[in-house]
């Protein structure tokens, strides 16, 4: 009885849904592309979305999200995919791919040279776009002698005051271990043991009452500008842009910067697959990638794009060789396997 009712409702729902969308759909091709909002999205708009529309005639409806897999899952499960292309970050992208929520990309259809993307191109479900880094930023005007290493983030004696952190396990657990003396290359080895996880949470306990948690990337520079925090974890691009726009003297501390690749991915069952592929091919090509760095300093994934980047901008990118050497590289396999567990544990830890 319940089943038949559901089926009947589903039929009605689909009919009503199509009816409404048919009435409201704009003429011509269009794609719904969802990214992270704020400065990143504004930059994507200028460097990628608008040139793409110009080149292809395909209109773009923009959306914003904060990396919730739930929306994608619900759309894919209910076969009502309305997001055509999604900007997914490292661990989320890998997890969604492993859960079968994304289209597997046929690189032959993209007319892109996969070799140009090196190791990050080995991801099956999308085209890598840019690399960003979660770094620690502070205001030089208020803190002339800023933090020098990630242990300073955890040192409330040397730096008494609030610090902003991203509300989630990544990269806080990793940073906690590094600050606790674990060599940066062994972080995931330690995190794979239950004792390692306990150790990370114990370290986080020491600063818990001094943390302001943020959920959207745009919040971090705002917290810093308002003086709500002494230092904060933030995406490097957001900080560089805040400096450019507001003239504040924010500084970036690159020690243990948590690098993360963003990918353009397509939710499984997107009704506008062809157009989505066109967009992925465009997004992976050198010119828009190089253009993006003019608006926000995130490193391009296509090796050909590097040659087109303005040398002045290169200094702000997170993947220069010397920054690469001290960076924290996310272990995506680790997060596919343990991400849920850590998120669960983190939620409990935070709620106490």
Among 55, 57, 61, 113, binds another protein (CB under 8 A): 61
In the chain, what is the straight-line distance between the N-terminal and C-terminal CA atoms, in Å? 43
Half-sphere exposure of 33 (CA within 13 A, CB side): 27
Among 298, 289, 319, 292, CA closest to 239: 298
For residues 18-30, one letter each, b for 16 or more C-beta atoms within 10 angstroms of the residue's C-beta and e for the rest, the string is eeeeeeeeeeeeb
CB of 5 to another protein, least distance (A): 8
How far is it, in rounded angstroms, from Cα 307 to Cα 326? 24
Position among 43, 166, 222, 240 found at the interface with another protein (CB under 8 A) = 222
Q: Which residue, 20 or 326, has its beta carbon nearer to another protein? A: 20
Q: How many residues bind another protein (CB under 8 A)?
A: 67
DSSP string, 166-187: ESSSTTHHHHHHHHTT--GGGH
| In contact, 30 and 278? CB cutoff 8 Å | no
User: Which of residues 27 and 325 has its CB atom nearest to another protein in the complex?
Assistant: 27
65-88 burial, b for 16+ CB within 10 Å, e for fewer? bebebebbeebbeeeebbbbbbbb
Q: Measured on CA atoms in the order 229, 233, 238, 240, is the torsion positive or negative?
A: positive
164 sits in which H/E element: strand 163-166
Q: In the complex, what is the shortest distance from the CB of residue 52 to another protein, in angstroms, rounded to a whole number?
A: 17
Which parts of 7-46 interact with another protein (CB under 8 A)? Answer: 9-10, 12-14, 16-17, 19-21, 24, 32, 34, 37-38
CB distance 92 to 335 below 8 Å: no
Question: Among residues 65 and 319, whose Cβ is nearest to another protein?
Answer: 65
**Nearer of residues 77 and 274 to another protein, judged by Cβ:** 77
Chain positions 71 to 90 lying near another protein, rule: CB under 8 A, are: 71, 73-75, 77-80, 82-83
User: Per-residue string for binding with another protein, 330-349, x by CB under 8 A?
Assistant: ------xxx-xx-xxx-xxx
- Quick check: 212 binds another protein (CB under 8 A)? yes
The residues of the shown chain that bind another protein, judged by CB under 8 A, are 6, 9-10, 12-14, 16-17, 19-21, 24, 32, 34, 37-38, 61-64, 68-71, 73-75, 77-80, 82-83, 95, 98-100, 167, 192, 194, 197, 201, 211-213, 215-216, 218-219, 222, 226-228, 336-338, 340-341, 343-345, 347-352
């Amino acid at each position: 009885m319940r089943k038949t009712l559901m089926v009947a409702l589903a039929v009605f729902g689909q009919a009503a849904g199509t009816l409404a969308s048919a009435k409201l759909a704009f003429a011509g091709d269009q794609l719904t592309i969802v990214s992270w909002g704020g400065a990143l999205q504004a930059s994507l708009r200028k460097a990628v979305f608008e040139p793409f529309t110009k080149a292809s005639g395909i209109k773009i409806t923009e959306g914003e999200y904060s990396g919730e897999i739930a929306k994608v899952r619900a759309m894919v499960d209910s076969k009502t995919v309305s997001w055509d292309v999604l900007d997914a970050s490292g661990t989320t992208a890998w997890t969604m791919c492993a859960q079968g929520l994304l289209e597997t990309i046929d690189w032959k259809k993209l007319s892109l040279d996969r070799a140009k993307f090196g190791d990050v191109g080995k991801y099956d479900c999308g085209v890598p776009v840019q690399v960003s880094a979660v770094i620690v930023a502070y205001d030089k005007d208020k803190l002339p002698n800023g933090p020098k290493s990630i242990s300073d983030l955890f040192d409330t004696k040397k730096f008494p005051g609030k610090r902003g952190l991203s509300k989630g396990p990544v990269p806080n657990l990793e940073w906690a271990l590094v600050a606790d003396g674990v060599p940066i290359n062994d972080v995931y080895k330690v995190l794979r043991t239950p004792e390692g996880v306990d150790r990370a949470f114990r370290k986080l306990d020491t600063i818990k009452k001094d943390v302001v948690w943020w959920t959207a990337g745009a919040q971090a520079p705002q917290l810093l500008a308002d003086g709500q925090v002494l230092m904060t974890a933030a995406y490097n691009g957001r900080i560089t842009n805040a400096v450019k726009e507001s003239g504040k003297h924010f500084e970036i501390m690159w020690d243990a910067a948590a690098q993360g690749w963003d990918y353009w991915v397509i939710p499984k069952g997107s009704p506008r697959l062809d157009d989505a592929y066109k967009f992925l091919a465009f997004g992976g090509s050198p010119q828009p990638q190089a253009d993006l760095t003019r608006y926000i300093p995130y490193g391009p994934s296509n090796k050909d794009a590097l040659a087109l980047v303005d040398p002045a901008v290169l200094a702000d990118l997170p993947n220069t060789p010397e920054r690469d050497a001290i960076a924290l590289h996310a272990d995506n396999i680790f997060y596919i396997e343990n991400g849920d567990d850590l998120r669960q544990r983190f939620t409990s830890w935070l709620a106490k």
